[in-house]
């Protein structure tokens, strides 16, 4: 069994913001694999499907970004999932917009949601799919304001190509034993 967690903030005001790219990628996957993420459990919206004879649970934590670890640990414990079978998808300001990275483990870096997951799981061994949103263009801009900005129309149009690249990395995770 695998758990795929897309990070974001619940609510209309956060739709299409840079910080919600994890939610947006799960929405993309839901179109590719034809499922809906609507079941409420463990402080998340979830869905389950089978891919390659493996049950895969998709989750969008509803705890807000900085407390994402609360939902992830509840899901891990409820479904008895090994930490190495968890993939967390989130935005990364240290990666150029449009680039993606798949990592097997590591720290939370500068991402408060990822840091909270490391803390709550007491482990750095979960998988990560980082989607670059680029860094601050104006050093006077507050980081919070930057990540909570909505994507521009042209960036939104680019997301399909970016998600196609991220899909390849998602498939690597799904195939891991």
Point out the residues that are catalytic: 19
Q: What are the residues facing 129 on neighbouring strands?
A: 89, 102
Place of tokens 């998600």: 163
The pTM of this model reads 0.96
Number of domains in the chain: 1
**CA distance to 104, 114, 137, 145, 167, per residue, from 134 (Å):** 22, 17, 9, 14, 20
Domain that holds residue 163: 2-175
Q: For position 71, which CATH number holds?
A: 3.40.50.1470
Residues 10-59: pLDDT tens digits?
999 999 999 999 999 999 999 999 999 999 999 999 999 999 999 999 99
Q: Residue 143: what pLDDT?
A: 86
Name the token pair of 67: 């407390």
């Amino acid at each position: 069994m695998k758990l795929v967690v897309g990070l974001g903030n619940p609510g209309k005001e956060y739709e299409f913001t840079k910080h919600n790219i994890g939610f947006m990628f799960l929405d993309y996957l839901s179109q590719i694999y034809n499922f809906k993420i609507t079941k409420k459990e463990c402080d998340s919206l979830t869905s389950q499907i089978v891919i390659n004879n493996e049950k895969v649970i998709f989750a969008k934590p509803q705890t807000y970004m900085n407390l994402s670890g609360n939902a992830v640990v509840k899901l891990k414990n409820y479904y008895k999932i090994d930490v190495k079978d968890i993939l967390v998808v989130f935005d990364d300001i240290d990666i150029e917009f449009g680039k993606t990275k798949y990592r097997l483990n590591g720290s939370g870096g500068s991402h408060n949601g990822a840091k909270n997951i490391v803390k709550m799981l007491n482990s750095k061994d979960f998988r990560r799919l980082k989607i670059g949103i680029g860094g601050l263009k104006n050093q006077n801009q507050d980081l919070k304001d930057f990540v909570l900005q909505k994507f521009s129309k042209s960036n939104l149009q680019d997301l399909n190509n970016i998600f196609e690249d991220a899909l390849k990395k998602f498939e690597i995770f799904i195939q891991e034993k």
